[in-house]
Structure formats: C-alpha cells, structure tokens
Amino acid sequence: MEKTFQPRDVEQRWYQLWEQRGYFAPASENPKTANSAGDPFCIMIPPPNVTGSLHMGHAFQHTIMDALTRYQRMNGKNTLWQVGTDHAGIATQMVVERKLAAESNQSRHDLGRDAFIDKIWEWKESSGGTITQQMRRLGNSVDWPSERFTMDDGFYAGVQQAFIQLHEQGLIYRGKRLVNWDPKLQTAISDLEVENKDSKGSMWHIRYPLADGAKTADGKDYLIVATTRPETLLGDTGVAVNAKDPRYKDLIGKFITLPLINRRIPIIGDDHADMEKGTGCVKITPAHDFNDYEVGKRNKLSLINILSRDGMIRSIAEVFDCEGNVSTDYDNQLPEQYAGLERFAARKAVVADIDALGLLDDVKAHDLSVPYGDRSNVVIEPMLTDQWYVDAKTLAKPAIEAVEDGSVKFVPKQYENMYFSWMREIQDWCISRQLWWGHRIPAWYDEEGNVYVGFDENNVREKHSLASEIKLTQDDDVLDTWFSSALWTFGTLGWPEITERLKTFHPTSVLVTGFDIIFFWVARMMMMTMHFMKDENGKPQVPFETVYVTGLIRDEAGQKMSKSKGNVLDPLDMIDGISLEALLEKRTGNMMQPHLQEKIGKRTQKEFPEGIAAHGTDALRFTLAALASTGRDINWDMNRLEGYRNFCNKIWNAARYVLMNIEGQECAADNSQNYQLSLADKWIISQLQKTETAIRKHFDEYRFDLASQALYDFIWNEYCDWYLELSKPILADPNASTELQIGTRRTLARVLEATLRLAHPIMPFITEEIWQSIAPYAGINVSSDKDNGEEHSIMLQAYPTPDASKIDIEAVADIEWVQAVVIAVRNIRGEMNISPALALPVYFSNVSSQDQSRIESCGQLIQALAKVESLTCLKVGDEKPASATQLVGELEIMVPLAGFIDKDAELARLDKEIAKLDKEIGRLAGKLGNSGFVAKAPADVVAKEQQKLADAEDAKRRLQTQQQQLDEL
RNA sequence: ACGACCGUAGCUCAGUUGGUUAGAGCACUACCUUGACAUGGUAGGGGUCGGUGGUUCGAAUCCACUCGGUCGUACCA
C-alpha cells in the first residue's frame, strides 16, 4: 500500500466496475438476487437542468441521496435511485439562442422553429452529458440504464396524456387573463419566477379633469390620482373612490376626461380605494395592473391594452369588454407621439406632456419594489393574454390533506408550514409558455377559433368528427417546465403504462431537495401525482413518503454562491484540485459582466493563492455529510474538507497497519484456529456495537452529521488512538500466547472490515478499495468466481447490525481504567515537559483490590502506551517517594521526582489541580446547600451530586497532602 | 408589516424530553520524526451559549420582551 491515500488511483476504477457489473440496478431486476429482493426503496433524483453542470448544492444533495441509497441497499432493500435530467425550457432555449448568435449571428426566428429545435437536440446530444459524467465522479449509485429526460418520447407521451386528461376533466382551461409577462423573453412566467427588488422611484400626482363641469365637494374641477407608472394612464378605464368617502362619493357615476387622450371614463365606487391613503382616488388600468384587473372585473370596466408584447406603446390599443371580448366601447387610437416608444421612454414622455398641460400636481420620491424576471432580469409587465390554466385549487385539496394526515412528512417538519401557507392560498396555475423548447400544447384550433384537444391532429379530427377540409393549426405554445416535472415520480417509472417498476417503486420513499423548490416542484408533484396515481382501492397515491429538505451551500462568508460574485466552487475541483491559473480562468473567463473580472480575480487570488489541492471524492462527501444538520444552510469551509481528507488518510494508514500485521499471519479468518480475545479486543468490539447502533439510528433519522461524527470518533479516537496502540504490545510481545495474538489479528481485521461497511454509504471508494484487501482476513471471500456468478463488493454486503451480547461491560470498564491511568502519566509527562523518549518509573499507592488485579492484567498495556519503565505498587505504610501525583479515582499514580521532575513545577501543577477542585467543590457545595435542590430534585440527581462532592473533597485532600510532603523536602 | 429560521470557542458547526466541569473539526501554544499515518503523536490554552426579564431546586435548552442576521410572503394609488 502507498503511504498516503491517493484517491485518484482508486475512484474511477471502482466506479466503472460497479457500473459495468450492474450493481446499481434494483435487486429485483438482477436474476441473481431477484428472489431475495427485499422491500422497495426508491429515490427520484430532482432532475438537474440539462444545460447545467453540477454545483456544490448538487454534490450535497447527491451525497445524501447516495448515502441513503447505499445504506438501504446494504440493508437488503430493493433499491432504485432513478436518474434523469430536465429539459429546462427557458434556460435551454436561451443557451442555444446565445450559441446560435455567437456562431452564425442568427436568431431563432431566422432559423425557424423546427430547425431551431433540431439545434437544441444537437446541442443536448453533445453537451448534455456533462452532468452524468460528474455524477459518476461523485460515486452516485444511480440506475443508469433507466435514465430519463423530460423530452424523451415516452415521457413526452405521459405529459400529453396528463394534459388531455385534465382538460377532459375540466381541470385545464383556456382564458384571457393578466399574467406576468416578460417583455424580453416574450413569454408568460409564473409569479414564482418573479423576483421583487426594492428600488427608488417616483410617485407622480396627476390631475384628472372632471367631465361635464362636475366639481368636488371642495369645489375643484379635477381629481388627483397618484401613480408610479404614469404611462399606464393611456389604458385607464376608470377612477375609483371609496363609496363612503364624503369628499368624492357624490361623484360616483360621473366621468373624468382622461388627459392626453380625452377618453371619457367613469368614476366608480370601490373598496379598493382607501380613504386614508394618498388622495383617496385611484386610477384603474385593468389591463396593466393585477389589483386594477380585479376592480375592473367587479365594476364591469373595459380593458385597454396599450403595450405590445415587447413592451412598446402600441399605436392602436386593444380594447376588450369586461368579459374579454373585443369591444368598440372606446376609441382604440392612441396618441401617435408615443407609438413605438419603449415603456420607460414613454413614461418620461407622458410625464413631460402632463406637466406641459399643467396637470402634474406633484412628484414625490417613493420607495417601491419592482418585479423582475429571474432569468431575463427585466421588469415584468402585467399583460393581458390568452393562456392555459390548471385549476390548482381543486388539485391542491388532497395534496394538503396528505401532509395534514402524515402520509407525507417533511424533514425538518417546519417546512410543512411553508407548504401549507402556499397551498392554502394557491391561485390557478398558468401552464402555457410562449417558447419553442418544451412539450407543445396538444390543442388545435379551427379557423373560427374553436379549440380541440388530443394527441395529434388525426386524433383530434377523429375525436371531434372534423372533416378533412377543415383547417386545423396547433397551439404554438409549450407547457411550463414544471408541468412536466410535476409528473416526474411516476412518469419516469413508465406511466401512462402500468409497468412493473411503477407497481414496485411507487410511491417512492424519500425526496431530497432544496427548500427553494418546495412550491415550484414538491407541491406540484403532490397535486399531479395524487390526481393521476391511485392504489388498488382507488385512493390517491402520494409521490413520496418523506421530503428531506436541504439548506443552501454558501461560501465561507455566508454568501450565496454565484457567478457574478465569483465565489462559485466546483465540486470536481474539490476532488481533483485545480491550479490558480485554471481557477481564475474558470471564474473570470467568458463573463456576462466583464467589469467584475478584476475584483473576482483579486478575491480568488487572495482566497486560493496556491489554487486548490486535490482532496478526493470521499473527503468531499464526508465533509458534506458532516455539515448536513437538518434544514440549515451550510457555510462551506475548506478547512473542514482538509480535515476530512486527513481522516481518509487516517483510515488508509490504519488499514496499512492492519495489513502489515496480518498478511501472511494466522488470524482465524475461517475459525479453524483457536484464538483468545484480549481485554482490548473485547473493548473495541463493544465500542463497535455501540457505534453501529448510533450510526443506524442517525441514518434512520436523516442525521448525516451525527452519523459522520460517530464514525469519525470511533475510527480516529477509539480504533486508531487506542485500539491499534493496545494491539502493539500484544503483537510485539514474544511471550504472548499464540491464541491471544491470533485473537488480536482477528479483531484488527474484523473490526476494520465492519467499520468499512459502516462508512461505505458516505465514503464509497476508499472503503471498497480497502475492503477488498481486508475482507479475506475477516472470513469473506472476495474473489470473483465467474463460474457460479459470484462477485463481491462492499456495496452488496450487509450493513453492520449491532449484537448486544458482544458488549462486555467489564472489559469496557477495564480499558477505560487503563486509559485513565495512561492519560494521568502522560499528563505528568506533558506538564513537566519530560521527553517522550524517556521511560518513566511509576508508583501506585492506595491500591484497591480491583486496581491491583487490573495492574496485573493490564500493566503491560500501561507500560507500552505511557512509555513506563517499571510499575511498582506501594503497600500501606510504605514510604512514598517524592513525586508528581495524579489521581484515578482512589488510586494514586506517582512519577518520582528523582532525575526528571522539577519540584517547583510540580507544586505549581498541584496548585492548578487544587484550584480546579476548589471551584468544583464550591459549585457542588452551593448546589447541595440549597434546600430547594435537596428537597425537590430527584433523589438520584442529588445522590450523584453528593458523590461528586465527596470525590472532589477527597481528591483535594490527597493532593494537598502530597503538596505538603513535597514542600517539606 | 407578518411569518419562519438562525445567533454557542478565532472560524465552521453539534448540543436529543431542562439535571456531570457546554462538545467536535480546523486554527492556536509547548514538546516529539516512536516501525500505520507529520495529511501524524502527546499535553495544553480558549466560551458569563446575542441581550434583558421570567418560570424552575436547577435554563444553552421552556416563556416574554429586545437587538442583530438570513429567507419567505404581503404592501407599495
């Protein structure tokens, strides 16, 4: 074995082997294991965006999913980790558009829809594999042969089926509504994709002249409305006042002459107008504001759309009545000076013209939050368009109940509130998008505008008995990407076909995802799945039983990782390492905002002056697991990664030690040899059982941080620090019995072997690599026997199960005593600055019979671990040498001064010890002196405290005696 | 404005239903190349658990208020 662990050498070798041998497939589909396949366990991957590459958040979630999958696979479950990618409508379309523009200076319109979609597929074939390769590097045990893509034929058919069925059931409808419109991408987006940003703007107060000579109560011939978007006045169809407002209530039913355009619009009474707020008068623009839209509907106001789809002022407005039908109630001519003006330029022009007319009453600075498209980063415009909607309220009902009654559980639980709050106020879901890349809406229109829904044109004609001469055209729009990913859990398993997999693995077991997509994805999967999937009794099936919600991975300063901040870390760079030059290129090359380049470069240089060292996949995974306390964001810490890389090396070297000592030696692998277990053997075996219990519990409770901690603690602080050291004196002792040495070798091998299995779900590679060498010494045959098809991998071994009968309480107590004595001697050595090379004579006094027998049975261990030259027990009455003293319970441990201990140093050390005890005694005495405590605290607690006080007082007394004696010398 | 979460050692984080002297890793100090490992060993230093008040015999833990931070939702004529 190499002296240090070299992850690069082992990782890919094992991954390829696992994949080739089909170890990731469900046991039920492997002829060798089909009969013994246990209960199903299934995780659906949140499909990564096909345009993307894996970031630290993926690495984190994938580590958790893989750990769960491997853990359950080793527990004998029939496991499936279903993999796939999402077509990511807008994102992918934008990537390919940009590429097209860069390469041939063409737009997608130059190319045409079909040719453009071909381009996307080409691009997907050539670059869509990035993620899957990265997942292989992370060791993810996903079932590759069944990988799905949301635009695959089978999945596509499922999406169409879902749409058609929902439409037939009246749960999908088409309507003219206000939507969030992205003028740059020219599509509707959902309000979840809108990001509200605070900004400083103005509030313009505008005079609206009253028509027909009407006057306000105080004699004015105008009303004042306030607005942050003055250009929308071109679309005003009313002014609202509160019907209770004494200032204006008499004006209700009268009219305003809209400035600039001389449109005669009614004054209406509506509660939307708040008497306390502003002037009490509100301009109503139903086609360009969500609140006004509702007011308009209530008051039967017309809708006037003044904007084109790209956010320019139209020359001719679109006028509709309150039902959305084309109307001639108003003149559709808009002032020509604004025609074709971009909306923000129009704002300026309108304000200037109003001012010129003397109608600008006031302008005030105003803080407001402005909606931006999260992809396009332009201001979103409420826009009146025809769109398809899902009746979300109906679908949400059972989905809410499933969480209420515990059919679906969130971990941590508090996310259920977030889910409820959204689901209970859910609005109908706009599912059409004006894009080319996606699932095209399976709806056709005849020339009268009648809609027919079906799988394809023929199917539609047949279904509706349409003559072949009737011309049909398919809807141009595609479905929201989340519509298809809402079908993910059952669509990937073959639905609408009822496949074996669907029957076996649905509902799935656990969903691992970020809190940021609970609304986007989790809630929608709940709605769709429960609508389409029913069990044999017709009861809706949930998509998954548990939702494990992860936090975000942030940088070390708690900042979100983003390209524009230049603080993004690539998980593969943690694994393989990267030079500073390459990292700089990665962070600053090909930037959308070149002006940030210098800042990011400097920051990177400062943070990683040497680049990043290679740490290996196992260290990365262990770090992520160790930081995964539930539901909390993680501030990434390179130092922890380094610490856990060292941990990998520690395991490696422990294995090296074990192999060095068992190779070519008898270790009772097949139990054909007699062996005897030492106290140390029994102790480490006991500790192993406890660790197994703890780690299983932690996995079952999704506490990967605690599982990692328990593993780390056992391997480093028990197995390496103590057990390996305890094994040395036995193996090195020429007088030790053969049986005892065999027992030690056997324990070295078997405990390590079990520990590797314990660690495997988190650290798959290093455990497999070592396991292959160690397992034969633990009685496991690992050679591939092609004839009977036997193949061995730690992946397919059983997860360790604790055996309470192997816990030897006495051995544990004995070794803990040994540890205490060894630490006592080491403490003296350390505090007295005695060279570790120097073997010390040690005296014991106040020796109980139990101490006596322990000294006899374990003296050799103490000598070896504390570097002690001789052990001498003093009898009662024997004169104690002048020495440095430590206490282990009643037992006094002494290292004589002669030769190596400075008297003053020892006196000072005793002072320190006594001061510590004094503090303790004071605290305990105070507590026990409190009558309330003694009277009310449980008896065992009081007794415990009393014992502690007595022990501390006794220890103090003896240290003081010691101090006195020393002082008198 | 409302809600959720967070605030524990220099840094990143644990701390189970209230009950040893509040833990870990990294960093720090001293000593050490000892035959698994210097990506290491041994010993040590470091925290009034954001603040105030309360409940309790006892509070990092429960309650109220408060300060700071993150996120979400709402409002924004």
Between A132-146, A310-324, A739-753, the lowest mean confidence (pLDDT) is in A310-324
Could you check whether the bond before residue A507 is cis, i.e. omega within 30 degrees of 0?
yes
The whole-number pLDDT of residue A31 equals: 79
Distance of C1' in B66 from CA in A403, Å: 35
Distance of C1' in B34 from CA in A941, Å: 45
Distance of C1' in B65 from CA in A417, Å: 25
> Which nucleotide across the nucleic acid strands is nearest to A639, CA versus C1'?
B26
Residue A664 has pLDDT above 80, yes or no: yes
pLDDT tens track for A36-90: 778 999 999 999 888 888 888 899 999 999 999 999 999 999 999 999 999 988 8
pLDDT tens track for A339-355: 888 988 989 899 999 89
Residue nearest to nucleotide B71 (CA to C1'): A516
Residue A139 has pLDDT above 90, yes or no: yes
> Which nucleotide across the nucleic acid strands is nearest to A917, CA versus C1'?
B21
The whole-number pLDDT of residue A888 equals: 87
Residue A788 has pLDDT above 70, yes or no: no
The whole-number pLDDT of residue A790 equals: 55
Distance of C1' in B74 from CA in A905, Å: 68
Residue nearest to nucleotide B24 (CA to C1'): A709
Distance of C1' in B74 from CA in A632, Å: 25
Give CA–CA dist A307/A334, Å, rounded.
Answer: 11
Whose structure tokens read 């507590």? A927
> Which nucleotide across the nucleic acid strands is nearest to A417, CA versus C1'?
B4
> Which nucleotide across the nucleic acid strands is nearest to A272, CA versus C1'?
B77
pLDDT band at A35 (very low <50, low <70, confident <90, very high): confident
Distance of C1' in B18 from CA in A936, Å: 14
**Residues paired with A360 in a beta bridge:** A206
- Name the CA radius of gyration of chain A, rounded: 38
Give CA–CA dist A541/A505, Å, rounded.
Answer: 12
The whole-number pLDDT of residue A260 equals: 86
Residue A721 has pLDDT above 90, yes or no: yes
Distance of C1' in B18 from CA in A932, Å: 16
Residue nearest to nucleotide B15 (CA to C1'): A706
The whole-number pLDDT of residue A208 equals: 92
> Which nucleotide across the nucleic acid strands is nearest to A703, CA versus C1'?
B14
Q: Measured between alpha carbons, how far apart are the two ends of chain A, in Å?
A: 56
> Which nucleotide across the nucleic acid strands is nearest to A831, CA versus C1'?
B43
pLDDT, greater one: A703 or A557: A703
Distance of C1' in B35 from CA in A725, Å: 13
Amino acid at position A341, single letter: L
The whole-number pLDDT of residue A508 equals: 94
pLDDT, greater one: A515 or A455: A455
Instruction: Calculate helix-pair angle for A617-626, A638-662, nearest 10 degrees.
Output: 120
Instruction: Calculate helix-pair angle for A738-759, A725-732, nearest 10 degrees.
Output: 150
pLDDT tens track for A913-953: 888 888 888 888 888 888 888 888 888 888 888 888 888 88
Between A111-120, A340-349, A429-438, A785-794, the lowest mean confidence (pLDDT) is in A785-794
Residue A785 has pLDDT above 70, yes or no: no
> Which nucleotide across the nucleic acid strands is nearest to A713, CA versus C1'?
B24
Give CA–CA dist A110/A116, Å, rounded.
Answer: 9
Between A407-411, A775-779, A783-787, A842-846, the lowest mean confidence (pLDDT) is in A783-787
> Which nucleotide across the nucleic acid strands is nearest to A836, CA versus C1'?
B32
Task: Report strand pairing: A281-284 vs A263-269.
Answer: unpaired
Structure tokens at A796: 């397919």
Distance of C1' in B44 from CA in A753, Å: 35
Alpha helices, DSSP H only, in A559-637?
571-576, 580-588, 597-607, 617-626
Give CA–CA dist A380/A377, Å, rounded.
Answer: 9
Residue nearest to nucleotide B72 (CA to C1'): A418
The whole-number pLDDT of residue A40 equals: 95
Distance of C1' in B58 from CA in A948, Å: 17
Tell me the average pLDDT of chain A. Answer: 89
Task: Report strand pairing: A553-554 vs A634-635.
Answer: parallel
> Which nucleotide across the nucleic acid strands is nearest to A724, CA versus C1'?
B36
The whole-number pLDDT of residue A465 equals: 86
Distance of C1' in B77 from CA in A284, Å: 9
Q: Count Cβ neighbours within 10 Å for each residue of A280-318 and write b for 16 or more, e otherwise.
A: bbbbbbbbbbeebbebbeebebbbbbbbbeebbbbeebb
| Centroid of chain to Cα A793 | 29
> Which nucleotide across the nucleic acid strands is nearest to A280, CA versus C1'?
B77
pLDDT tens track for A482-505: 999 999 999 999 989 999 999 999
> Which nucleotide across the nucleic acid strands is nearest to A422, CA versus C1'?
B73
Distance of C1' in B45 from CA in A486, Å: 56
> Which nucleotide across the nucleic acid strands is nearest to A647, CA versus C1'?
B39
> Which nucleotide across the nucleic acid strands is nearest to A631, CA versus C1'?
B5
Structure tokens at A754: 């079990």
* Residue A599, φ and ψ in degrees, nearest 5: -60, -45
Give CA–CA dist A287/A232, Å, rounded.
Answer: 9
Residue A562 has pLDDT above 90, yes or no: no
Residue A787 has pLDDT above 60, yes or no: no
pLDDT band at A900 (very low <50, low <70, confident <90, very high): low
Give CA–CA dist A456/A557, Å, rounded.
Answer: 54
Whose structure tokens read 């001789």? A870
Amino acid at position A141, single letter: S
Distance of C1' in B50 from CA in A738, Å: 61
The whole-number pLDDT of residue A820 equals: 92
Distance of C1' in B65 from CA in A420, Å: 29
The C-alpha angle A83, A85, A90, rounded to 5 degrees, equals: 165
Residue A468 has pLDDT above 90, yes or no: no
Distance of C1' in B73 from CA in A296, Å: 25
> Which nucleotide across the nucleic acid strands is nearest to A651, CA versus C1'?
B37
Distance of C1' in B54 from CA in A401, Å: 39
Instruction: Calculate helix-pair angle for A725-732, A679-700, nearest 10 degrees.
Output: 150
Mapping DSSP to helix (H, G, I), strand (E, B) and coil, where does residue A70 land? helix
> Which nucleotide across the nucleic acid strands is nearest to A660, CA versus C1'?
B36
Structure tokens at A322: 């309150």
pLDDT band at A600 (very low <50, low <70, confident <90, very high): confident
> Which nucleotide across the nucleic acid strands is nearest to A619, CA versus C1'?
B39
Distance of C1' in B32 from CA in A623, Å: 30
Residue nearest to nucleotide B25 (CA to C1'): A640
The whole-number pLDDT of residue A791 equals: 66
H or E element that contains A418:
helix A415-423
High-pLDDT (> 90) share of chain A, %: 44
Between A20-24, A663-667, A739-743, the lowest mean confidence (pLDDT) is in A663-667
Residue nearest to nucleotide B34 (CA to C1'): A837
Span A686-698, average pLDDT: 93
Distance of C1' in B44 from CA in A721, Å: 18
- Which bases in strand B are touched by protein, i.e. have an atom under 7 Å from a CB? 3-6, 11-15, 19-21, 24-27, 30-34, 36-44, 56-58, 69-77
| Contact between A858 and A726 (Cβ < 8 Å) | no
Residue nearest to nucleotide B12 (CA to C1'): A637
Nearest to A657 by CA among A588, A580, A592, A726: A726
> Which nucleotide across the nucleic acid strands is nearest to A923, CA versus C1'?
B21
> Which nucleotide across the nucleic acid strands is nearest to A646, CA versus C1'?
B39
Distance of C1' in B2 from CA in A410, Å: 23
Q: Count Cβ neighbours within 10 Å for each residue of A513-547 and write b for 16 or more, e otherwise.
A: bbbebbbbbbbbbbbbbbbbbeeeeeebbbbbebb
Distance of C1' in B9 from CA in A609, Å: 28
DSSP letters spanning A944-957: HHHHHHHHHHHHHH
Between A264-268, A383-387, A786-790, A952-956, the lowest mean confidence (pLDDT) is in A786-790
Whose structure tokens read 């993926």? A58
Distance of C1' in B25 from CA in A555, Å: 18
Q: Count Cβ neighbours within 10 Å for each residue of A101-113 and write b for 16 or more, e otherwise.
A: eeeeeeebeebee
The whole-number pLDDT of residue A821 equals: 93
The whole-number pLDDT of residue A941 equals: 85
**Residues paired with A429 in a beta bridge:** A390
Residue nearest to nucleotide B57 (CA to C1'): A933
Q: What is the ipTM of this complex?
A: 0.94
Distance of C1' in B35 from CA in A2, Å: 16
Give CA–CA dist A578/A611, Å, rounded.
Answer: 6
Distance of C1' in B51 from CA in A145, Å: 58
DSSP letters spanning A455-504: SSHHHHHHHTT--TTS--EE---EE-HHHHHTTHHHHTTTTTS--HHHHH
pLDDT band at A784 (very low <50, low <70, confident <90, very high): low
Give CA–CA dist A840/A832, Å, rounded.
Answer: 12
